[in-house]
């Protein structure tokens, strides 16, 4: 198992054990569905509620990190661990994609003893299009090709 895989499993276990209901979004969600990408962090989406804000303290402890604001212009926080960064986004991702809708269209990916709830590739593509950052736009051809392949495999 690579250190990247170990980090994803560690985060999933910490989310589960802290009781934070999260949807894996971004590049890690695409990776878990077969997209050949690389990334240096993991993004999850949670609801911005007092209960979840409280649970983040437990999540920080489980991961051995401290949550800090990503930007004064965003409510997102980052927990930096010895392995990588976990970015926690609240309520919606670019493209106006909210928690409820993402969860309704999400996929479940089994990873040994862990289960990741991941945003659909369609939603990841829509979010990266809406974000419009150069690194997101560069990933779009790979994501679209992955989606085409998965759809073709599903038909056969």
Per run of 10 residues, the mean pLDDT along the chain (length 156 residues) is 81 95 96 93 95 93 91 90 92 96 97 94 98 96 97 91
**Tokens at 41, concatenated:** 């962090």
Q: Is residue 77 classed as helix, strand or coil in its secondary structure?
A: strand
From the list 119, 123, 145, the residue with the least C-alpha distance to 28 is 119
Domain holding 141, by residue range, is 3-145
The pLDDT assigned to 38 comes to 87
pTM for this one? 0.94
The pLDDT assigned to 3 comes to 64
On whether residue 101 sits in a domain, the answer given is yes
On whether residue 141 sits in a domain, the answer given is yes
The pLDDT assigned to 2 comes to 60
Angstrom distance (rounded) from CA 143 to CA 147: 6
On whether residue 43 sits in a domain, the answer given is yes
């Amino acid at each position: 198992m690579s250190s990247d895989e170990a980090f994803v499993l560690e985060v999933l276990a910490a989310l589960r054990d802290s009781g934070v209901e999260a949807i894996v979004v971004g590049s890690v969600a695409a990776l878990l569905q077969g997209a050949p990408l690389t990334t240096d962090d993991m993004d999850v989406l949670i609801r911005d509620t007092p209960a979840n804000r409280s649970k983040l303290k437990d999540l920080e402890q489980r991961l051995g990190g401290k949550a800090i604001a990503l930007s004064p212009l965003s409510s997102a926080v980052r927990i930096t661990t010895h392995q990588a960064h976990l970015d926690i986004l609240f309520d919606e991702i670019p493209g106006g994609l909210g928690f409820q809708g993402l969860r309704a269209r999400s996929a479940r990916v089994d990873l040994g003893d862990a289960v990741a709830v991941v945003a659909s590739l369609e939603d990841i593509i829509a979010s990266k299009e809406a974000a419009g950052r150069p690194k997101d736009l560069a990933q779009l051809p790979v994501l679209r090709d992955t989606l085409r392949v998965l759809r073709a495999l599903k038909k056969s």
